Every structure is written in structure tokens, then in C-alpha cells.
Structure 1
């Protein structure tokens, strides 16, 4: 590439120079040409170039550029590292490439740690995170601690905690030191449903080498949360245990427990009894989630428990946290699997320099279109860390579409792609392989449509094209890739909610285009319609309390909830939007409003999922929480 920026000179840049240089140096290395140092490891010798080693490794740079004895030596012996790993590190220095496997990852990481090569160190640690299982997580955690891989150490510890029942039955668990075992069983994050699992794990560890380990029982038993055990279990399984009977410290602990149980408010014994529940004993709460959307109030309420009426903040998408100014994701699609995995995809990513620069209430976002970017990003929610994790992006960017889950796969239907063009393309995401594939085309283009899944079949309902709403209902068989047309909805609609209740599909709210005036406008709906899948027939359901669009329907604890956006025009120049939540009284066949102004967010995706809300930030609402 050349730049003739001024008379008499030219700036030249060879874009291929870096790769060509590496290739030539690799040729010199392979043919032992111009090498100037030999590394000896175990029984092998490697003839290398000092400058390549120094440019790759701060360890070798310090060795060759300071007054160390090795700087003048032609042959250098290396210790505390294996020859095969050194060979791979040298290959990396000349190529920038490395093959990491479950067989070489630990040795490579140890070599990278010695030679201070951060890219290899990080790559090996990331790879080892993917290899964690019940049989190796304890060993990997100890290895990570030795080699200062803090992120890997934490990941391994989390794996131990989340899979404690399986881990405590492995050989690695039985090889733990007493201190390390005490650290594990003291954790609040153990995923156990009952405290008996913890006590029995400790006993199993002690009995594995009883002669050596019985002395540690007095240190370990206080980590069992005895107050979470029923008294019958304590009397039958702890007091009667021969190891406990032979341990004076354990007997004192049990006497203190009796005093604590008799009068906990006035207890003054030497032991402090932990009454906190373990992570696995705290059941996740079934909540309504408002994913994405546009709202000036950041952070926005986006998690709502309809049973307790508590509200919470879930994390923003990663890019949202890394940008200054006003940021929002309009009209993404979200789906929750039968295993409670939460995925979100696409949407229009809207950027504003400041809070005041937002679209007017009576218009949509047309005046800001040049700044709107439709995306193909795809995230999975990590409730343990309250963060969205990148997954493989969709094949095509899109917004205003729907996602449906069936048989470990997620299907993407309809929507708008670049330049607001409707698309009929169907994409499929394999959750296990983390990969998207093209699977076919829809019979027609649909935008702002809705989908539900029942018995492995996906039902596509409603939507719009241009300024026309659809009443279309189609059933898609993912295994056969076949479409079946069904009886259409009585009322065409888009941006509405749908939910399977038994063998029926409820649809509620949404919008329809009105041609009653000289202009075409969108009008919200309050109608509810019910589809019987066996009979292929529709009937009317009880109307919502208010007209509602951007609507979500969800079945939570056998109750059907509807949430969505309602609006009213206080003046000719301003429209007010707010979100309401209603619950269907199946006996009285009517909707009861439980929230009239939950939040102001709009153009979101609403789903229901089970979350550990203790991992989130709670929003205090005086009218509810006092």
C-alpha cells in the first residue's frame, strides 16, 4: 500500500511483510540456518534464534539482554519444564499457532507460566475451563492456584460448588487436604438440597483414611450447618456415630447445639451456628423478564416476581456497559428453554450521545435511523454471575422476529433485517454445538410475529407486513421441516402475547393498523382469543383490563399473567407509556390488574424464567416493600 501524500516522497507499507517474515524465520529454524542458541531439555536439543525467543518471551528477553551468565552461553539447560512443551512453545514463537488438547494443556500452561508468555497462558486456562468435570475440577483448581490462574481457579471452585454431590463421590475429593475440604464445605454456594449431603461427604473423606483423618473431624463438623438438620437425623446419624462419640470437640459441639436450640436468643456457647441456607436449598423464583427495550430510566426494572411483587435489575448486555451515552436494544427476541436457559438475539442497537436525545413520544425512531444498527448478536444469560455471555452470532442481523425452542435447538423466524427488509429465512441454533445453520424459508414474510412450542411442534401466529396485520397461524415440524396451515386468529394482530395452557393457545393484546382517519395509525388491543389445538378452532376469551401491546403472556405457578405496554395521550403533543401486569382469574374468567405502572420501558421482549433473585440488585418500591 502506498500513500503519495506530498511531492517528492511516498509512504510504502507491505501488508504481507509480517506473515512473510514469520514464514521465513520458520524456514530458517526448520533447516537449522543462522541459529545462535541451543536449548537443552531432558534428552532433547532445540537450535533456535535468540531474537525470536526474546521477542516472544520476557523470560528469554531478560536472559539474553542482561548480564546473566546465559546471555553468553551457546547452549542452555532448562529445568522444571518438559521437552514436548518447550518444543510447542518454540513452534508458537515462529508461527503464532498452537494446538491445545486435554493431554498437553496443563504442561503447556506450566511452560507458559515459566516463560511468561501471556497469550499461551490465557489460552490454556480458557481451554481447561471447558474441560472441567466432576473428576478433575479439584485437581484443576489446585493447579490453577499454583500457577496464579485466578479466573480458572474461581471457575473450578464454582464447578465444585455447583456439582458438589457428584464431586464428593470422586477419588479427587477423597485426596483433599483437611484445610481444603473445610474451605469447600464451609461455602454458602454449595448446590445441595439438604445438609445431610455435607455431613456424609465429610464422613466419607474421614473413613477413606480413618487412622490418619479421625483427628480432623472436630475441625470439620462445625462446618456442617446442624441447625438445618432435623433432630431425628442428628440423634440417629450424628450422635450415634462412633467417630463422633470418640471426638471430645464434636461432643461439645452437640451439647452447644442443644443449648442453642433451647434458647437461641440467649445462647452464649463457644460455637457459632450458621443458619444460612446453602445455594441449592434456595429455590429460584419464577419471574417475568423485560429483555432489551427503550427507556430513559437506566438501569431499568427488568425482572419482576408477580407473587411477591418484588422488582430487580438484571445486567445490561456487554456492549451496553462499555459505551458512554444513551444506549438501548430495541425489539430483540428472547426464548427460555425447558431447562431454564435464557437466550436473547438481535434487535436494533440504538446509540445516543446524551439522555436528552431520544425519539419523541408520538413518533417512532425514524429520525434517528442513520444511528440504528440491526444486529445478529446472540447471548445466554448467566444467573450465577448476573451477566450476558456471548454465543455464536446469528447468520443474519434482524429485529422484530421470534425465537422458539424445540429439542435442544432454537429456531429463528421472520423479522426485519438490514435496511428494514422483511426476511423469510429460518435459522437454527444448536445449543450443544454453539452453531447456527440455515434450515429453510417461511411460506410468507412476517414481522412482529409470535411463536409457541407444544409437543415438539412450533406454532407461528400473527405478525405484520408493511401496514397490514395478519391473522395467520401455521404449525412447523422441525424434524420434517414441514409447514401446516391452521385456522386463522379471529383478530389480526402483531406485537401480542401467546402462551400454551394445557392443549390450548391463549393470545392477548397486541396492535392492529387503523385506517379510520387520513393517516394510518397503530391501535392497541385488549381482546383475548383462545385456540384449541385438537379441534383447530378459536373462541373468545376474557378481555384485558386495558388496551395493551408489546405484550407477553406467561404461565407461572398455574396462573396466567399478561404484561405489556399501555399508553394514553395527555396532550396533543405527548403520549405517556407505562407497563401493566394482569393475572387471569380462571374461576371468574376475568383479568385482575396487579401492577398499573411497573416501569416505562417499551419495545422489549417479555419472557418468564426461574431466577435466583438474590444474585440481582433489588429495586425498593415504597408502596410494595413497606
Structure 2
């Protein structure tokens, strides 16, 4: 059909209308235009006067743009280049040919550069292309250190500059440089702009600026104008040096600035109601309260792996997977860089491990115990090793007394704490607490937990250790009992206390501390595999109460969770 219509066009047969654009006649078939454009369909079928006219003058578009649209209508192909993209986009927007609008948008995204980014941002705003508008802003922020030196940057009007600052996309420089660029922009047209800095200061993250860095900024001429507004200046300078992370942490993480990053909950792997065993990784979107897909671990679908964050990179190491109904355990590891959205393999552990503990202490990963060694009849010690990301190597460290799996841990100071677990699937569940001393390379024992626990979680909050979740065997019935208490441990006093109880007991859930709260994700309600949890429950550690319940379409169990800083995404 399409080939036949093209033949009619090529032979100039049966044209029933002429579009007049910029005094150029473009003969067409009405049915062809109506088939791909709501604009023309309404024009020809809704009783408008144009439906009876053979010559129609089309204003607001160029002949170049319209000729390309007509070619698309007959061929379903569009040739977009630097010479015609704006004409084609204007015409496609005018007559509402959506596939061409999308093609122009994709072309502009792929050809963004420092010379055209402002033009593309303005075009996106003109045609209400929200995604393109955000991509252009993201590009300018990602190249701020160079873009802010250009004349185009200095010529941004107030609205454009304010919108860019408030976009909160990641930048390639520290916050001091952002402040300096604001002052430079104001100084470029000081007569008209010096009064605007107060509004722009609202979007400067002063908490991420060091107090000593202000000295350089105070030497700029425009700072005198800033100093004249003592109330404004005092309010902002009081925020200095209150960053939630250290300068050394930023240096190791590869992040220039926390601007544009969000601290969020990460959930990965295990089983889901959407397809069984999975390697998907999700993050908690705070605006909606929903878990959203982030990426996927580049390995076979697995569970019971170690997951942690080092230098703001996400690591998934070890674990087990099924192959022809046989459970296989592996030593391989993978590292995810959220800034580049890329994965890379790391050196494998010296031991295959699943159901082990992976923790961070003083810039290194520590892999402690786990299956299959816990059940292999090995000596009563858990094999341990440490990973150095800079050299990409694992080295053995002192084995931990008491071989085990399904234990957990956390680091505090220069110690790595380990609690609970079990050696045999039907064996006793441990209640002990041990710690590894980084200075002595030795293990020591602390006071036992109030309750034996396996498959539980531990975290640090306000210099105390907390354990939550897990299960143990009832001494009389030998049935599994889900631990309901939330207990805390004071390292200075070497003692435990119960601080709260779970609102709902779950098996195979995760418990992660995030922004002063415990976030409980997934699991089986009451240990019943028929009752999968579809909520994320939140316990406020300061207030000592359950405060929120976020309903999810996703049901997860035997997964892993942690927190990290993710860049703000263009959705």
C-alpha cells in the first residue's frame, strides 16, 4: 500500500491538494497527511473550510521543514541533520507528527555540546519537551567547570540561571566553584544583577563549602555587594562546613560535590514476585515512596551474596545460583559505578561463599565465613579475607573462631563486629558477639546477644550496634521462632538492651538504617511463604516508633539492601 502511494507521488498522479508554504507549492494526497497527523485529520474530516479547498496556505512553518514531513508521510523515514533539525521540529510540532518530534528530540540529545546547549534548552522549553529540557540542563551541570567560563554562560538571563541552579543535577566541581560562578555572573552585569544574588543564594548548598574556602571568595569585587546585606550573609555563612560527608570521602568516591546526589536505599537480588530469582537492583524513590529499577548485576540470577558500598560504588560479591536444580556457590564480584551507570568485574575471592558477611572497615571490604565452608566439616573457624579496591586484590586475614553462615556484622571505629549465625542448617543458632581488631589482626569476644539470631541484620547508629530480625529455634519445640526484639549494644559498657519490637515479624527480610530510621523491606509475614510482604515499614530510631508503611507492587525475599548516594536521574 505504502509503495503504491509513493509511486503515485513519484508520477505526480491523483494529487488532491496543494500545501503552500513560504510561497512554495507542495502537492500531496490528503489521505496520506491525515493518516500520520491528527492536525491534518481534523482539518480534512471535521467540516473545516480547508476540507473543501484544493490550495491551503500553511503559516508558522518553513518549506524545508514541511518538505521533510511530507517525505516522512510517504516513506516513514526522516533525515535529520544540523541544517534542518529546528525547521523539522517546528513543523512536526505544528502539525503534531509525534514520531518526528521524538526523532528530533533524540537527535538534539545526541548532539548536545557547549556551543548549543542553551539553544537546545530554550527550544525544549518552547515546544514543551520536558525530557530534552532536563537533559540539556544535566549536560550543562555535568560540564559546569568549562561551561561557566563561557560567554554564553555569562549571558544567561536571570530565569535561565535560576532554573539551572535549582535543577539539582550533579556537577563536575565543588560547591565553592558554584558560588564563584554565581558571583562572576552577577559581576558581568553588576548594574542590573547585583540585586539578584540573594535569590540565587537560595540554591547554593553552603553546607558543602568549607569555611576556609570563603577567603578566596571574599576577594572578589562583587563580594562587597554581598557583605552589604548582613542579614542574608549571616544566614548563609552559618551553614558552612555542615556537610554530611568528609572531604576525604568525596575524594575517594570520585564525587566532586554532593549537589545532585540523593542518599537512598538500594535493594538487590533474591526472589521477587515478578519472576523468581533475580539480579535486579532497585532504589527507593523518595518522591513516590516506590522501589524503582536501577540496574542489573551482570551475572546469573542469584541470592545470598554479599553487598556493600565502598567509595560510593556498589559491590555484589559471591552468592549462589541454580543450575539444573543444583545450587552452585561462586567467588566472583562486580562493581557498579552509578555516575557512569557501568559495571565491571573485580578479582574473585579466594573462597567460594554465600550466606556470608561482607563489611567495610577503613576503606577495605572484609568477607567473613559463609557456606560452603560452614557445613563442610572444616575446622571450627571461619575463613576470612580482605579486599583492597586500589590493587584489586584479596588477602587472607585471621580466621574467626566458630565457623558459621547466616551471620551478620557492622563496623564501628577500627573494629568489625560479627553476631549470630549457625553452622548446620538444623544446628544450634549462635548468640555470640565477636569483633575483629584491625590494629592487632585478632578476634575478641563480647557479651552475648539477648537472643540467638540467624539471618538477621546489624547496623550502627549513634555509636551503638543494633541487631534486628532473624530467627532461632525454640528449645522445647525445635520450631523456628522469628526474633521480634530490636536490641542495641553499647561497646563501651559491653552490654545489650532491648529498645523496641518489630511491628510485624518477617522471615527473609532486610533491615537497613537510613536517615535515622530502620527500613524493613520484603520477607514472609510470620515466616509463612504464602504471605509475601509488599510494604516497606519505617521505624524512627529517635522517636522510638513506627512511622510509615510504603506499599509496593514488588514482593521480595532473600534479597540484600544497603544505602548509597545516587545521582539525580532524568526520568
When the two structures are superposed, what TM-score results if normalisation uses the length of structure 1?
A: 0.56
Q: Distance in 1 between matches of 2:464 and 2:392?
A: 31
Residue 269 of structure 2 aligns with which residue? 346
Q: Is residue 463–residue 493 contact of structure 1 (8 Å, CA) maintained in 2?
A: yes
Q: Does 1:56 align with 2:62?
A: no
Q: 1:382 to 1:41 in 2, by over 3 A?
A: farther
The yes-or-no answer on 1:463 pairing with 2:370 is yes
Structure 1 stretch displaced more, 601-610 or 44-53: 44-53
| 8 Å Cα contact 2:435/2:443 also seen in 1 | yes
Distance 1:343 1:100 in 2: 40
Output the CA distance in 2 between the equivalents of 1:530 and 1:607.
20
Query: Which residue number corresponds to residue 406 of structure 2?
Result: 495
Q: 2: CA distance between counterparts of 1:555 and 1:399?
A: 24
Residue 577 of structure 1 is aligned with which of 466, 483, 487?
Answer: 483
Do structure 1's residue 448 and structure 2's residue 355 form an aligned pair?
Answer: yes
Does the residue aligned with 2:484 lie in a helix, a strand or coil? strand
Residue number in structure 2 paired with 1:375: 278
Distance 1:403 1:123 in 2: 40
C-alpha spacing 1:220/1:582, structure 2 compared with 1 (3 Å): same
The alpha-carbon deviation at position 541 of structure 1 amounts to 4.8
* Match in the other structure for 2:61: 80
Q: Aligned partners of 1:54 and 1:597: how far apart in 2? A: 65
Report if the CA contact (8 A) 1:422-1:445 is conserved: no
Is residue 414 from structure 1 mapped to residue 394 from structure 2 by the alignment? no
Aligned partners of 2:464, 2:5: CA distance in 1, in Å? 66
The alpha-carbon deviation at position 464 of structure 1 amounts to 3.5
Instruction: From 490, 494, 509, give the equivalent of 2:420.
Output: 509
Q: How far apart are the structure 2 equivalents of 1:438 and 1:99?
A: 40
Conservation of the 8 A alpha-carbon contact between 1:423 and 1:445: no
Closer, same or farther: CA 150–434 of 1 in aligned 2, 3 Å? closer
Kept after mapping to 1: 8 A contact 2:64/2:87: no
Q: Is the 8 A contact 1:41 1:78 kept in 2?
A: yes
Give SS of 2:39's match: helix
Contact 1:194–1:281, Cα closer than 8 Å, also in 2: no
RMSD: 6.2
TM-score between the two structures when normalised by the length of structure 2: 0.60
**Aligned CA distance change for structure 1 residues 194 and 537 (closer, same or farther; 3 Å):** closer
Q: What SS does the corresponding residue of 1:391 show, helix, strand or coil?
A: strand
Q: Does 1:561 align with 2:471?
A: no
Q: Deviations over 1:231-255 (max 9, x none)?
A: xx99x9699969859xxxx97xx5x
Q: Distance in 2 between matches of 1:457 and 1:27?
A: 66
**Is this contact kept in 1: 2:65–2:91, CA < 8 A?**
no
Question: Deviation at 1:497?
Answer: 1.8
Shift of 1:349: 2.0
* CA drift at 1:496: 2.0
Task: Call closer, same or farther: CA 1:574–1:609 in 2, change over 3 Å.
Answer: closer
Aligned to 1:295: none
Deviates most, 498-507 or 374-383: 498-507
> What residue in structure 1 maps to residue 294 of structure 2?
391
- 1:346-403 residue CA offsets vs partner (Å, 9 max, x unmatched): 222249xxxxxxxxxxxxxxxxxxxx82233222455687654423434533333333
1:596 is displaced (CA, Å) by 3.4
* Equivalent residue, structure 2, for 1:116: 96
1:554-607: CA deviation from partner (whole Å, max 9, x where unpaired): 5667x463433155769979945325253452x45x254473325545423455
Q: How does 1:522-561 map to 2 (within 5 A)?
A: 523-531=428-436, 538-554=443-459, 559=463, 561=465
The aligned counterpart of 1:11 is none
Mark the runs of 5 or more structure 1 residues left unpaired by the alignment.
Answer: 1-20, 262-271, 287-336, 352-371, 515-519
Residue-pair matches, total: 495
- Counterpart of 1:400 (choices 287, 304, 319) is 304
What is the Cα deviation at residue 467 of structure 1? Answer: 10
- Structure 1 residues 462, 338: closer, same or farther in 2, change over 3 A? farther
1:94-173 matches, within 5 Å, as: 94-95=75-76, 109-121=89-101, 139-153=119-133, 170-173=150-153
1:474-496 superposed Cα distances (whole Å, 9 cap, x missing partner)? 56788999877776543232222
CA distance in 1, matches of 2:495, 2:414: 21
